[in-house]
Amino acid sequence: MASSSNDAGKGKSIAEERESEREFLYKDELQLEFVFNVGHVKDFELSMPYRAQLTNDKWNLFLRVPFFEEILLQFLKEDEDVKEGLPVTVYDKGGHEFPMMLKKFDKDSVTYYVLNRGWFNFCDQKRLQENDVVALRTFRHAITDKLSIVVTYTKMRPQPQLPTLYNAMVMPETQHNHQFRYQVLGKKFIVS
């Protein structure tokens, strides 16, 4: 029977994860409204979102292969070489433009893409921090036909700091009639 309770816990976490994913996508789509309304997106063709959680590196956004590559290849033209660096325009949810560079690196049998030369400015203006989640959607600009990316984001609340081991210590105070008194963080509790 113990395994069924473990399975139930897993099912709950999967359900919570799916609900969280739906909520994220809904918020993400609301942020895209401006880009569609002003007519930036050519033929209304916009990629599925590529999500990434930010690290402490505000100078570069590293994008994993093959996930990002599958999205990107749908919009690349034959004459565009990402290994040499490809200028892209990144848009925020308000339609503001941020010129950046998209490059592909192959090093020690590891391949990755990096978005830089402007990523720091974007993070700084949006006050993005480590652990915030960004979603990138690739498209071709309706007028310039230039490869473009719209970046939406969700700011993650900082996790509450756990009490230190010293503060969380449970110390028996006295024993009286099978009742124990404990003092935790200055508060007294009686346990029978």
The confidence score (pLDDT) of residue 106 equals 85
The confidence score (pLDDT) of residue 159 equals 54
Q: Does a structural domain hold residue 7?
A: no
pTM over 0.75: no
Residues 73 and 145 in one domain: yes
Residues 107 and 166 in one domain: no
Residue 37 CA: distances (Å) to CA of 16, 88, 135, 144:
33, 21, 19, 17
Residues 120 and 172 in one domain: no
Residues 124 and 168 in one domain: no
pLDDT along the chain (192 residues), means of 10: 46 63 60 63 80 90 86 88 93 91 88 92 93 91 91 78 49 45 47 45
The confidence score (pLDDT) of residue 37 equals 58
**C-beta neighbour count of 114 within 10 angstroms:** 19
| Count of domains forming the chain | 2
